[in-house]
Chain A
Amino acid sequence: MTPADAILTRAIEQLSHGDTLGAEATLLGGLVDMPTESRFYLVHGVAAREAGRLPDGFTGFWRALAADPNLAGARAALLDTVVTRETPTERDFSLNSGERQFADTVAAIRADHRARYALAARWLRHHIDSPRLRVGLDVFCGNGYGSRMIADLAGARMMGLDGSAEAVAQATTKFGSHRVVYGHSVFPFTLAPKLFDFATCFESIEHVDDPAELLHQLSVATNGPFIVSVPLETGLPFAVNRDLFKHHVRHFTLSEMQNLLAKTGRVIAGEWGQVVYKKNRDRVSGFVPEHEMGIRPLDADSQFLIVVACMRMPPFESAKP
């Protein structure tokens, strides 16, 4: 038995007897001589979580990944800490359901999707302190390219959640790292309170039966800003295009989003628009060229709304991305 194994055995024994403080002391003692022993951070995180200190547990699992980026147990522990309950659903969450981006490089993802995450990264870089020390939650992250974009462009740690196990597997393989972690979880789920510094949720709210509950969960997960996007009823009338968006439940107006966000105690601190489709009258007839899919000021032609929602208005010029 190696010295590290002996320390782990002792700590786990202490944990099994309910002595979480003793286990934590044992592990912290071990880290003095072995500061790169990832299992110490992992088990210390478990002990902290058992003691009801979720944030300490959460931090411990990230520290375990910093010591060993391949430590699968730390990824699983992060997911277990963040998602406390989920409900089975009959929905089709497969990678090729027709709604997901599945290219395995960021560059190959369609421009409108990349533009939203790039906007989020820019906003975060300019409006939150030391993004590299922050952790973001990307709800309905798909195959993970967007979480990775925020990590690369803003420097933040990211955790992506998605209902497709297939998408999460691809995300972990293609876009994961010790600072970008993905987990499989199906909405409706319950998220642990206030573990994250910000959240993103793009092209997802229109997919759920209870958008208020999804926004409520985002609000539970973070006191920080969240950045969300939805298709606009004014630019993409749902009734006329329902057959083209078979996974959508509805589209939204700006005022509907303002009301939904107000229920989470948030105000819109920044809003932008986006045009993605060619239309014949109100009916979608194809895509505009990718170079026209960028973020633009919100106007009557906008088909998508992207907003930053904050608990209070931060001191910045809201129209600038």
Chain B
Amino acid sequence: MKKLLSLKNVIISVSILILIWQLLFTVSSYDKALFPSPKMAFDALVELIENGKLFENIRTSMYRFVTGYFSSVIVAVVLGLILGRIPKLFQYINPAVQLLRPISPTAWMPFIVLLFGIGDVPAIVIIFIAAFFPVLLSTVSAVGNIDPVYLKVSKNFGIKQPALTWKVIFPAAFPQIANGIHLALGTAWIFLVAGEMVGAQSGLGYQIIDARNNIRADILLATILVIGIIGILLDGLLKLIEKLILKSWGGAA
């Protein structure tokens, strides 16, 4: 019942969005090649599906996204678990992290393209940077926030490293780490498009640049829609995985 209700909400919400779009199209005096109607964008979507371009670009983008995001999450979590246990070391690393963190990953783009050229690597690097800091910082703080009684119990029962990390510290910190991983997903997806717009000749971001160069605003809007939908699906997928894992935290979810 709850699911049905939320489906109803989605339909109403999307319908309103399309309605406003259509209304703007009707009243505006822009050339329709520059500002297409929902119908035209939909037709462009069908065209992209039929000529196979869309799925090819989605595949390319997903490959970059999965590679960049997962390598970033793994590196950041491992580093975070180590740094979280050594606050004396982290106090020297933290200022540097705080300096690098607010820099938009796209600011690195020219530099990355100079170093790595055009292709998969710049997009992957951008996604890596985008996901890295939120996951690292949430892991460090999660490890610092572990209830001391878990560490006392571990000491008492003779649990030593490396078992201590994977038996106690990681699972104890996991709910908060998962928060960071979840947050980073959205950020990483946003920067995938940015990365591909500058540093690639393929993928969904490039498809947007390509549409602009050909003055195909309908394809541009269709691509934007696809990016949004994939973003929602990725988020939903991660929520599902999180829920499954948190279930074994004693029905915390």
Q: Are A and B a genuine interacting pair, yes or no?
A: no
Interface residues of B (CB under 8 A from A): none
